Structure 1
Amino acid sequence: MNKLITLFFCLSICFSVVSQENESPYETDFWKDGAWITTGLGLNALGVSMIQNKPGLTEAEVLALDKDDIWGVDRWTAGNYSEQDDELSYIPFYASFALPIAFLPSEAERKNFGQISVLYLETMATVGAMFTITAGAVHKSRPLVYNEDLPMKERRDNDAQRSFFGGHVAATSAAAFFTAKVFQDFNPNSRAIPYVWTGAVAIPAFVGYLRTKSGKHFLTDNLIGFGVGAATGILVPEIHKKGNENLNLYPTARFNINGTGINTRGLALSYTF
């Protein structure tokens, strides 16, 4: 899989360099964008490793959990559990990854497919890095952990301790808002723009609804995931727009001097005067 991603990335970068048309609103650079995607994929690998090594709860810790300790806005979701809604949430989640192909139909967009692919890879690598590292570093039980009818083994599982933040919603939101942003930039006079943006909001909102019902995330987890994904999906194309060369956004992670852990992680936004 990693080899296929690397090959696709290289082909997309090369194709974008040789096929950028004058009508494209974006500019890409082989070295800068290559470094961005490589860093993003590296941080994704780090985040996945952190998630895999994340400890679960002991039985005593599970029994000590109290719904009254949860924020009021989230308390009503504590104990939610639905396998059906969990499985259903994967349909719009996976479908959202194809949105840039389905809703970028103009000739100008087809001619710049390689360039758009690079921006899309950057978007998904960035939001993926933010999610995996955060999910690996932050210990927060999912709503289903508060469901006393579930087996203790499932409530204690380390996968049940990464509620913050909503990764499905973040990824879906990033893909949907990226699609809407690129569609508008290539088709600024299209009458379809309001409908495309409406869809960009509705799809991740529906995923968030299902993830909340399934007991995978609290409401605030999904709201934050929605915001992170939307911001990434909009900002990545925006900083590549012609005339915005001084604006930069990239995933970051800073380690302790002794190498024992991570101090900070997230997105860095910079503007060079």
Structure 2
Amino acid sequence: MKPCAIYTLLSILLATAPSRGEEGPWRIDLRLDLPLTLGLGAYSLVSEIVASHLDGPACGPLCDPGGVNALDRGVIGNRSALAADLSDAGFASVIALPYVLGGLDRLVSGGGGDLRGWAEDSLLLLQALSANFLVANLVKLSVRRPRPYAYDPAVPEETRRGAEASLSFYSGHSSTAFAMATAYALIYQARHPESPSRFAFFVGGYLLASGVALCRVAAGKHFWTDVLAGAAAGSLVGWLVVELHRRPDVTDQDTAGGSVSFLAGPGGVSLRAIW
């Protein structure tokens, strides 16, 4: 399903789905969150279009590996087609799974169906996804780091000099995977603060996201520092989007096992660690 279709569906559900008579864990203002999410998505699309019209790496037609740090230099020469396919499959899965799992969870835990709850959770996921795309693309456009294959003489010159060859830092696949894994694990924890299964979503999500990152390196699409930075940035974006929407009055009860919470309000912002 395309992002615009998801956005339209969520807008309809949030506007029409009946409330179950109890407050959820999120503070959502449709007048702010819907246009914000749409705007983030639109700007990320614009940045994708701009990136596709860039020149190739300035160091081309063949970049000198002598300028690459020791950690990253070993990636040059990686060209696994299987790893590239697996990273794309993992990328698609880590985007789709939170919506599917969230829908199943609200169907089972929501007393036979909690459409509004699913729509609220999905809006946060879509907002995290859109924000992550935008930030990652802006960094790529600013840094313009050559990809590993730009240093590989075995790769065709046309590929080495293409626009994509200058967008290595940081990894968009990795940041997206970690943003979605972080956001959904936090959402599930907020919905089920006492459930032992909440830890499984953190572990499972990060394992899948790590697999995506490792495959990007094996495919020669990114350096180690690209995927590490992407993992950190994506995790931060996913965490911020969820925490900025968390109701302050449910933070304590949602975090019986300890947590770090970022709260925002009219008086400013605060960072709280609860143990």
Residues 6-85 of structure 1: pairs in structure 2 closer than 5 A? 6-15=7-16, 18-19=18-19, 21-22=21-22, 24-57=24-57, 61-63=60-62, 65-85=63-83
Rounded to whole Å, the distance in 1 between the matches of 2:33 and 2:16 is 13
Deviation string, structure 1 residues 223-253 (Cα, Å, up to 9, x no partner): 11111111122221111111289627xxxxx
Return the offset for 1:13. 3.6
Aligned CA distance change for structure 1 residues 149 and 66 (closer, same or farther; 3 Å): same
Counterparts of 1:189-208 in structure 2 under 5 Å?
189-208=194-213
Equivalent residues of 1:180, 1:193 under 8 A apart: yes
Structure-1 separation of matches of 2:213 and 2:85? 13
Q: Does residue 220 in structure 1 map to residue 225 in structure 2?
A: yes
> Which residue of 109, 132, 137 maps to 1:107?
109
Residue 76 of structure 1: how far off its partner (Å): 1.1
Aligned pairs for 1:1-273 within 5 A: 1=2, 3-15=4-16, 18-19=18-19, 21-22=21-22, 24-57=24-57, 61-63=60-62, 65-104=63-102, 105=105, 106-108=108-110, 110-111=113-114, 112-243=117-248, 247=264, 271=269
Q: Distance in 2 between matches of 1:121 and 1:239?
A: 14
Provide the secondary structure at the position in 2 that maps to 1:234. helix
Change (3 A) 1:21 1:216: farther
Label 1:53 to 1:38 Cα distance change in 2 as closer, same or farther (>3 A).
same
Determine if contact 1:131/1:167 at 8 Å carries over to the other structure. yes
Between the aligned residues of both structures, percent identity stands at: 23
Matched residues, number? 248
TM-score by length of 1: 0.82
Secondary structure (helix, strand or coil) at the match of 1:247 reads strand
Give SS of 2:204's match: helix
| Distance across 1 between alignment mates of 2:209 and 2:216 | 10
Question: Structure 2 regions of 5+ residues with no counterpart?
Answer: 250-261, 271-275
Higher mean C-alpha deviation, range 129-138 or range 141-150: 129-138
Two-structure CA RMSD over aligned residues (Å) = 2.4
Letter in 2 for 1:187: H
Query: SS at the partner of 2:60?
Result: helix
Task: Work out the CA distance in 2 between the residues paired with 1:74 and 1:119.
Answer: 34
| Mapped contact 1:108–1:186 kept (Cα < 8 A) | no
TM-score between the two structures when normalised by the length of structure 2: 0.82
Gap change, CA 1:205 and 1:68, over 3 Å in 2: same
Post-superposition shift, 1:176?
1.3
CA distance in 2, matches of 1:123, 1:96: 13
Q: Which runs of 5+ in 1 are unaligned?
A: 249-269
Q: Runs of 4 or more off by more than 3 Å in structure 1?
A: 101-104
- Code of the residue aligned with 2:35 in structure 1: it is A
Query: CA offsets per residue over residues 186-225 of structure 1, 9 Å max, x none?
Result: 1111111222111121111100100001010001111111
